A = this chain, B = another copy of it.
């Protein structure tokens, strides 16, 4: 398959299409980003790489970090993890307190905010230095030592994260948070503040596509079966209240962040990352979704 030609074609076409949506202003720090940045990076399981556009510029990966968080927690806890968080799609906006109250403080899945709070809480309980462990894992899986938290972004969220504070307090009232709330949120906001380039992001997700290789990074090990399960969760729950739409149109497991990044994988074939900061009302990058829909249409290859 000639990925180079396909990706170049998609990039040009999407880039030329009408700009739509707007940069997230949820966090002041994120609002400063240049709205028309756009990049695509793809890596095949055979090692070929293709990238075009703003693929070497770092951006805030935000919710995409939840997949790394899930990988760490799953590696440590195994299936006992599911006593604390479910694996069903949410069917509601990603930060809804309604479902959390009806389900007595057990989040619907690990990729919505309250799910990620529970995973953060688990890492705080299990690890001596979860901040360091998280960074080590992410640095190892991207093969980039310079990956780090952005303290400004983390602090910016902390000051404004009232809805996150509402969710986590509600879970604590049901007994599903063990550590101090401020400690959990501080860790959570830090992991969301991690910055990567498109190329680094594509590389970081290649191990989720490359099932032939053992998954072992900085001591975080996952079995083949566990990786497949993470992929299933990404497909079901990776795009907030638009997960069905993404599965329907793109048909690949993936994860988006309100910083405008999207990453998706085609098992045994490739990992692909896009970045374009203009997001739609559901919180997903408009150019990113458009590009990935074209990709599976033109390659005639999704998981379905």
- CB within 8 Å of B: which of A82-102? 86-92, 96-102
Interface string of A157-168 (1 = CB under 8 A from B): 000001101110
The number of residues on chain A lying at the interface, defined by a beta carbon within 8 Å of a beta carbon of chain B, is 53
Say whether A236 contacts B247, CB under 8 Å: yes
Asked, given contacts A101-B98, A235-B235, A247-B236, whether A166 binds B173 with beta carbons under 8 Å apart, the answer is yes
Q: Which of B108, B166, B237, B300 is close to A169, meaning CB atoms less than 8 Å apart?
A: B166
Considering the complex, give the chain B residue whose CB is closest to the CB of A237.
Answer: B244
- Is there a chain B Cβ closer than 8 Å to A267's Cβ? yes
Q: Which of B88, B98, B162 is close to A245, meaning CB atoms less than 8 Å apart?
A: B88
Q: Which of B92, B244, B303 is close to A236, meaning CB atoms less than 8 Å apart?
A: B244
A103 to chain B, nearest CB (A): 10
Q: Which of B90, B162, B247 is close to A232, meaning CB atoms less than 8 Å apart?
A: B247
A236 to chain B, nearest CB (A): 5
Considering the complex, give the chain B residue whose CB is closest to the CB of A160.
Answer: B173
- Is there a chain B Cβ closer than 8 Å to A241's Cβ? yes
In the complex, A101→B233 CA distance in Å? 26
In the complex, A227→B245 CA distance in Å? 15
Chain B residues with CB under 8 Å of A102's CB are 98
Asked, given contacts A101-B97, A169-B166, whether A235 binds B253 with beta carbons under 8 Å apart, the answer is no
A77 to chain B, nearest CB (A): 15
- Is there a chain B Cβ closer than 8 Å to A229's Cβ? yes
- CB within 8 Å of B: which of A180-206? 181
- Is there a chain B Cβ closer than 8 Å to A140's Cβ? no
Interface string of A226-248 (1 = CB under 8 A from B): 01110111011100011111011
